[in-house]
């Protein structure tokens, strides 16, 4: 069992400590070219990713949303799908684990959510996290961008309220830092400004790759 504590000192800062009671075999993580967009729901990640697709970038979508939308298309209600978060979230975490195991580490791409996001959701619900913690050690992301929250927009997938989103936002940031990342916060700009902000803050080698992708798209369109 993997034990963790969440100590909230005030409404804006949360400290997380993850204590592993089992000794895992030392895992040498695979260093990837993946750029992760993390953050709470209703922070504009998916909208920004759509714009990056238009610029020629490769994007891996949120598999949890895809799963919910697929189940809704079969006639199930959101209550049936997400009614019991403690049943739903472990499935979601496993989707994310399998997704990352099926992506080439060499591909330069953007991920809608990373495993530390799934880990944060599991901790928020006070679920067992051992398998997710272990999976987080398998890969290292090239960069992590955390999206500041936008005004809550209800849709047919989200169930969280403002208070829960606020708590998740802080928990996700602290989880990434606890695992050893230095996430870059994306301010709540308009979508085109967010895209510009992200492309400007990519690591130099990733900026070169991004420019190559955009040039290839222009060449295809000519």
| Res. 153 pLDDT band, cuts 50 70 90 | low
Q: What is the pTM of this model?
A: 0.82
Residue 41, C-beta contacts closer than 8 angstroms, at least 6 positions apart: 158, 160, 165, 168
The pLDDT tens digits for 100-124 are: 999 999 999 999 999 999 999 899 8
**39 belongs to a structural domain:** yes
Distance CA 155, CA 72 (A): 12
The pLDDT tens digits for 9-57 are: 443 344 445 544 433 454 688 999 999 999 998 899 999 999 999 999 9
**169 belongs to a structural domain:** yes
Compute the mean pLDDT over every residue in the chain, rounded to the nearest whole number: 83
**129 belongs to a structural domain:** yes
Residue linked to tokens 């802080």: 170
**3 belongs to a structural domain:** no
Residue 104, C-beta contacts closer than 8 angstroms, at least 6 positions apart: none
- The reported pLDDT for the residue numbered 44 is 92
CATH number of the domain at 42, please.
Answer: 3.40.50.300
Whether residue 138 has pLDDT greater than 80: yes
- Residue 76's Cβ-side half-sphere holds a number of Cα atoms within 13 Å equal to 14
Number of domains in the chain: 1
| Res. 221 pLDDT band, cuts 50 70 90 | confident
List of E strands, the chain: 2-8, 14-20, 30-31, 34-38, 59-60, 109-112, 139-140, 143-147, 184-186
**141 belongs to a structural domain:** yes
**181 belongs to a structural domain:** yes
The pLDDT tens digits for 156-204 are: 555 566 788 888 899 999 999 988 999 999 999 999 999 999 999 999 8
**Could you tell me the residue range of the domain that residue 61 belongs to?**
31-221
**48 belongs to a structural domain:** yes
**136 belongs to a structural domain:** yes
């Amino acid at each position: 069992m993997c034990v963790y504590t969440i100590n909230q000192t005030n409404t804006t800062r949360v400290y997380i400590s993850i204590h592993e009671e089992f000794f895992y075999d030392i895992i040498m993580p695979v260093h990837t070219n993946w750029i992760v967009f993390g953050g709470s729901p209703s922070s504009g990640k998916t909208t920004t990713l759509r714009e990056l697709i238009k610029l020629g970038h490769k994007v891996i979508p949120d598999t949890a949303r895809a799963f919910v939308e697929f189940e809704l298309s079969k006639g199930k209600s959101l209550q049936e799908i997400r009614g019991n978060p403690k049943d739903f979230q472990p499935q979601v975490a496993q989707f994310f684990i399998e997704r990352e195991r099926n992506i080439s580490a060499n591909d330069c791409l953007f991920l809608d959510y990373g495993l530390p996001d799934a880990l944060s959701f599991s901790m928020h619900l006070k679920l067992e996290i051992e398998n997710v913690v272990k999976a987080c050690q398998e890969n290292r992301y090239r960069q992590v961008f955390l999206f500041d929250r936008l005004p809550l927009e209800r849709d047919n997938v989200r169930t969280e309220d403002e208070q829960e989103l606020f708590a998740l936002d802080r928990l996700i940031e602290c989880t990434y830092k606890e695992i050893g990342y230095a996430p870059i916060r994306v301010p709540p700009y308009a979508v085109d400004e967010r895209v510009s902000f992200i492309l400007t803050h990519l690591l130099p080698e990733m900026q070169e790759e991004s420019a190559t992708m955009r040039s290839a798209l222009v060449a295809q369109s000519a």
